[in-house]
Structure 1
């Protein structure tokens, strides 16, 4: 059985979980022993990072590398398109997620851990910056209804929980994530995917608990 090392509040872990569920793979999800980066965990996943995946003799890190591995060992249902140009577009969207979109969401974490009041002006700036980051998606997705046409791909695995977490954080701090029409349409389509909905719900509950460790906010 595949061992999947993850934390429920991580969107990088969520995208692997969504792919595992969509491919109906048998796996056990567990937290990294002694926490990520620990000596005990590095004996299993040498990078010491999450998500981590152990499958027989394979010990994998990096969420996108894991997604590609899952696509190769379980090609059905396919989560990469057949056409090379469309496959490249999916990979480009995954790169954009990791380098631009997710970091705009993670930017909240430092202020939360510092215990800054929910009314602090810093959150208004963070919400504006996050909305601007999401605007970058409008011209690079098809939203028909998914990112690259009518079929679900690894892009949906990557973005579904990130969209949810971004909206959750904006709402917790009195704002709103501004989404343009195609992003709104794509977000609606992602919510209709049962496997994505499972991880979205798990992540929302975990994030609420995590934020509450540092500051008091309305649910």
Structure 2
């Protein structure tokens, strides 16, 4: 049985969970023992980071490496296209997610953890910067109906919960995430994927509880 170490508020964990569910793999999801980075957890996952995956002799970290591993051990349904160009496009979009899109969402965390009030101007700036990051996607996705054509790929696993969390944070702090037409169409398609929807719902509830630990939100 695969052990999947994760926190529900993490979008990096969500993309692995979505892939596990889409591939119909049996797994148990648990938080890292004693927290990520702990000595106890490092005995299982040496990197000490989340997500982590333990499967027989494999002890893996890094969400994209885990996704590639899942594609190798469970090739059906395929979440990487057959054509080399399309596969490269998938990997490029995964890189864009991790280096540009997700960091624009994570940028909220510091202000939240410091207890910055909901109507502080910093959140307006963060919403603007996050929207600008998402606008970069418009020219690099097909939305036909998915990012790299007619089939679901690892890109949808990565982006579905990130779109949701971005919209949630923008709404919590009095703004709105701007999405251009292709991105909006793609986001609607991602929400219709049952396995993605389950992780989106889990993440939204966890984020609401996480924010409430630091900030008294407006009624």
For the residues of structure 1 that align with 2:184 and 2:82, how far apart are their CA atoms?
Answer: 26
Cα RMSD for the two superposed structures: 0.6
Q: Which residue in the other structure is 2:127 paired with?
A: 127
Residue ranges of structure 2 left out of the alignment (5+ in a row): none
Structure 2 vs 1, CA of residues 218 and 17 (structure 1 numbering), >3 Å: closer, same or farther?
A: farther
Q: Which residue of structure 1 aligns with residue 57 of structure 2?
A: 57
Q: What residue is the counterpart of 1:18 in the other structure?
A: 18
Q: Which residue of 1 aligns with 2:2?
A: 2
Counterparts of residues 48-197 of structure 1 (less than 5 Å): 48-197=48-197
State how many pairs are aligned: 219
* Equivalent-residue separation in structure 2 for 1:216 and 1:134 (angstroms): 28
Q: Cα offset for 1:134?
A: 0.2
Displacement over 3 Å in runs of 4+: none
Superposed CA deviations along residues 129-171 of structure 1, whole A, max 9, x for unmatched, are 0000001100000000100011000000000000000000000
Q: Match of 2:197, SS? A: helix
The answer (yes or no) to whether the contact 2:118–2:218 under 8 Å persists in 1 is no
In structure 2, the residue matched to 1:210 is 210
